Structure 1
């Protein structure tokens, strides 16, 4: 008897500079980019994201040479946006997006991860704006995100995948559902980050089962439930929460990744599943052993 369950090999596993404690283009406390590339390949990953623009070389020829000689390929670039501010921020947004999109396309990738702007500063905790959007701001967010999706597709051949993120306006199940319901599936897909979604109280398996056709990309990570309970109770901003270790090495946290991968497998589509364990700041010798163990764990899950 043959199984009708689609194979897991349609899921391509990678990692990202974030898993090496890299949050900024240039920070003397971060692992140098050559070391990141060496270690991510040694840990058993074939795919990487670009990380903060300027951390890895921005010259496509140089980056192509450096990745190829390590057997690495690029799955996506990442941009930060504040599109709920409306058309007035479009030009500034596009200036930021276009350079990253061009490099992403030149590296042969098909996806651009879009992260909404934070409502409070992730380092200082300063409240920058109201954590709840007005109806007009929701309309601007969805309309401008569709515009971004159209422009990125038409100019660079990339598909945007919007990343629900802690301390942004696209975070909880309610807000993610509202965002998806208000955007065009042809223009806007979702980057489901299992850790951020759990951080904000969401159920990744339920989201995949409910909005499967909108899932265009995965970030795999887990949260430590005990630390999460503390940071929620104390209203700790995301940056300091990461410093406390709220994002933990799998399989020690939640959500369990086996059911998430099984639900993703059930979609029967090609998906990237990029490991992204937020660890900023962290000692330079800390990431590699975690990355190697995580890769072994994911192999035990069938990917």
Structure 2
């Protein structure tokens, strides 16, 4: 059986970070433009952005010939007594994801700094106790998601969280169950934090369960790091760029993913909240889709 990297996209590439925001592309336009750009696969984005009624969502994506790969939740399981709050999200998002044929649930850890204000919400580094809570909590969550909904959890390391840099990603992988917890390798976030995507793929091949494809502008990132700016401000400054104008080198990443010898979703996410205009995302999406298909 042939193995494939399945390229898709997400609301994030249309400047969507929230369920409802007047600065965001309307959801019907997003779906229409995904098709125009040449994609067939999407993520759901923030819960409530796309219709949450399973039949209506199935009708909307089905009428456009689209398919769903995953949904996304946020889970700050390093915090005491947070599991019930995380599971309440799972019950909504996993159920909807499964109902429309998705196979993965992307889990983003809690941020220590606000995306919107840049304000520090808690210490930048986790205590040993915090690391243990995070690891055991994510193990439990991954098992419960699989048992309850038949979905694979993909943990998304992320800027301004406690699993951000490559050493932190490696520590997290070494502390968690390889079966219950796979890694959503976000190439942009890894590069943003100074990591090496190809190295992670080669050293942890069995943990790569899902991929987000994006690039960063090294000059903008250097400025962001020098000034210790938050990720939200970094995005506004243009830290995330369309390929091939940034890092990491996409052909090298895709070659390493092909070396895994199994199917993998690779979903394009070019953070650009808020978009300058609703006309901005489609031309970028077209070029990105064409470029990535030309790399293979």
TM-score category of the 2 structures, normalised to the smaller one: over 0.9
- Structure-2 separation of matches of 1:163 and 1:91: 20
1:151 corresponds, among 115, 119, 144, to 144
C-alpha distance in 2 between matches for 1:197 and 1:246 = 13
Q: Name which of 157, 171, 177 aligns with 1:184.
A: 177
Secondary structure in 2 matching 1:219: strand
- Deviation sequence 1:142-179 (CA, Å, 0-9, x none): 00000000110000000100001000011111100000
Unaligned runs of 5+ in 1: 1-5
Matched, 1:43 2:41: no
Report what 1:29 is aligned to.
Answer: 23
2:249 is aligned with 1:256: yes
Q: Where do residues 189-204 of structure 1 align in structure 2 (5 Å cutoff)?
A: 189-204=182-197
1:59 to 53, 61, 64: 53
- Residue in structure 1 matched with residue 12 of structure 2 by the alignment: 18
Q: State the Cα distance separating 1:248 from its structure 2 match.
A: 0.4
CA distance in 1, matches of 2:24, 2:170: 36
- The alignment's C-alpha RMSD in Å is 1.0
**Offset at residue 29 of structure 1 (A):** 1.1
Question: Of residues 215, 218, 243 in structure 1, which corresponds to 2:211?
Answer: 218
TM-score after normalising by structure 1? 0.96
| 1:236 counterpart SS class | coil
What is the deviation of 1:32?
A: 0.4
Deviation at 1:97, TM superposition (A): 1.6
Between the aligned partners of 1:68 and 1:221, the Cα distance in structure 2 is: 27
Separation of aligned partners in 1, 2:179 and 2:260:
17
Structure 2: stretches of 5+ with no match in the other structure: none
Q: How many residues align?
A: 295
**TM-score, with structure 2 as normaliser:** 0.98
Provide the C-alpha distance between the structure 2 equivalents of 1:101 and 1:28, rounded to a whole number of angstroms: 26
> What does 1:154-169 align with in structure 2 at a 5 Å threshold?
154-169=147-162
- Extract structure 1 runs of 4+ deviating beyond 2 A: none
2:290, 2:98 → 1: CA distance? 30
Determine the structure 1 residue equivalent to 2:266. Answer: 273
Query: What is the alpha-carbon distance in structure 1 between the residues aligned to residue 112 and residue 210 of structure 2?
Result: 24
Match of residue 227 from structure 2: 234
Q: State the distance in 2 between where 1:221 and 1:185 align.
A: 25
